[in-house]
Amino acid sequence: MTVNLTTVLSSATRQVVISRDGPTVVIGERINPTGRKQVLAAFAAGDFEIARTDALAQVEAGAQMLDVNAGVPGADEPVMLRQVMQTVMAATDVPLCIDTADPVALAAALSFYKGKALVNSCNGEERSLKAVLPIVKEYGAAVIGLCMDDDGIPETPEARLAVAGKIIERAGKLGIPIEDVIIDPLALTMGADSHAGRIAMDTIELIIKEFDVNITMGASNISFGMPDRPYINSAFIAMAIHAGMTCPITNPLVTQVITAVLAADLAMGRDDYGMRWIKAFRKRQKAAGAAA
């Protein structure tokens, strides 16, 4: 039997606990210029108001953490990431998931962040392990490990498990405890490969059996290119929670998705007396009443 690992993240004033014993922690995905033209244009123009409103809206909708990405082609990422993070940190006190591929931007961000952040991400590539893990260790952060390496994204769950194992081992050698490594089995789009969902789910199960670490996924990637995405995303996210995913990166503003998370927690016995479900229901009712 492995033990159920718990990851604790924090801001200056708030703590978030991620474990399979507690409610699913939704990491809001929306502060990300990649694929969101409106965010890209605003950030490129030095306007971060959209980061503030997206932060508030996502927390109001149920996000307990926020992913923050400031990757604007041609921009100075360390500077821009700082501006976006400071905007978000002024608006809300949820812990942040710092989403950058630039180690310089990452180190700069962690140097002023107050609390314990989640770093998004490293992967099994030698270059990534060497660049990212020492920074994670230096600042006492936690890190997401993507199940891909120098050979790309492995096709089989077994090969993805091996990459997860490598990342956990290398982190451990630097003194990063295993509970501070959150694994992303990688949700690819089912539109390109109809087995992508099944592979992600099987990978989660293998990783949990072996390591019992916390699991994240970009849980809306799965439906790219498909019609009626909220139905796909909500079914997939509930199934992934059953498989063991504890902290999806997703869009909490999509009602079907956030309600699927709450329903899955209820079905998994992680919502005592259904209090969170009922509270969310009342909130939706109130919002509908206010709109009418």
Please give the residue ranges that form the binding site for ligand THG (CB under 6 A). 29, 32, 35-36, 99, 120-121, 144, 184, 187, 216, 218, 220-221, 249
Instruction: Round to whole Å and give the CA distance between 241 and 14.
Output: 24
| Residue 221 C-alpha from the chain's centroid | 12
Q: Which is nearer to ligand THG, 23 or 218 (CB)?
A: 218
User: What backbone torsions phi and psi does residue 205 show, to the nearest 5 degrees?
Assistant: -60, -45
Report yes or no: 252 and 31 within 8 Å, Cβ to Cβ.
no
> Tokens 């087995």 label which residue?
195
- Reported residue count of the chain is 292
- C-alpha distance across the termini of the chain, in Å: 53
Query: What's the sign of the alpha-carbon dihedral 253, 187, 244, 139?
Result: negative
Q: Which is nearer to ligand THG, 149 or 271 (CB)?
A: 149
In the complex, the smallest distance separating the C-beta of residue 77 from ligand THG, rounded to whole angstroms, is: 15
In the complex, the smallest distance separating the C-beta of residue 26 from ligand THG, rounded to whole angstroms, is: 12
| Minimal CB distance residue for ligand THG | 218
In the complex, the smallest distance separating the C-beta of residue 29 from ligand THG, rounded to whole angstroms, is: 4
**HEC readout, 116-158:** CCEEEEEECCHHHHHHHHHHHHHCCCEEEEECCECCECCCCHH
Q: Which is nearer to ligand THG, 58 or 87 (CB)?
A: 58
Query: What is the layout of strands, in order, in the sheet containing 96-99?
Result: 181-184, 142-146, 118-123, 96-99, 65-68, 27-31, 249-250
Nearest Cα to Cα of residue 266 among 281, 285, 252: 281
Largest CA distance in the chain: 58
In the complex, the smallest distance separating the C-beta of residue 168 from ligand THG, rounded to whole angstroms, is: 16
Q: Which tokens go with 229?
A: 């995405």
Q: Which is nearer to ligand THG, 110 or 266 (CB)?
A: 110
Question: Per DSSP, what are the bridge partners of residue 118?
Answer: 97, 142
Q: Which is nearer to ligand THG, 87 or 250 (CB)?
A: 250
In the complex, the smallest distance separating the C-beta of residue 219 from ligand THG, rounded to whole angstroms, is: 8
Q: Which is nearer to ligand THG, 146 or 266 (CB)?
A: 146
Nearest Cα to Cα of residue 221 among 249, 201, 181, 194: 249
Q: Which is nearer to ligand THG, 71 or 115 (CB)?
A: 71
Q: Which tokens go with 103?
A: 């180690």
In the complex, the smallest distance separating the C-beta of residue 218 from ligand THG, rounded to whole angstroms, is: 2
Q: Which tokens go with 259?
A: 């309600």
Nearest Cα to Cα of residue 87 among 68, 103, 64: 68
Q: Which is nearer to ligand THG, 29 or 271 (CB)?
A: 29
In the complex, the smallest distance separating the C-beta of residue 272 from ligand THG, rounded to whole angstroms, is: 29
In the complex, the smallest distance separating the C-beta of residue 36 from ligand THG, rounded to whole angstroms, is: 4
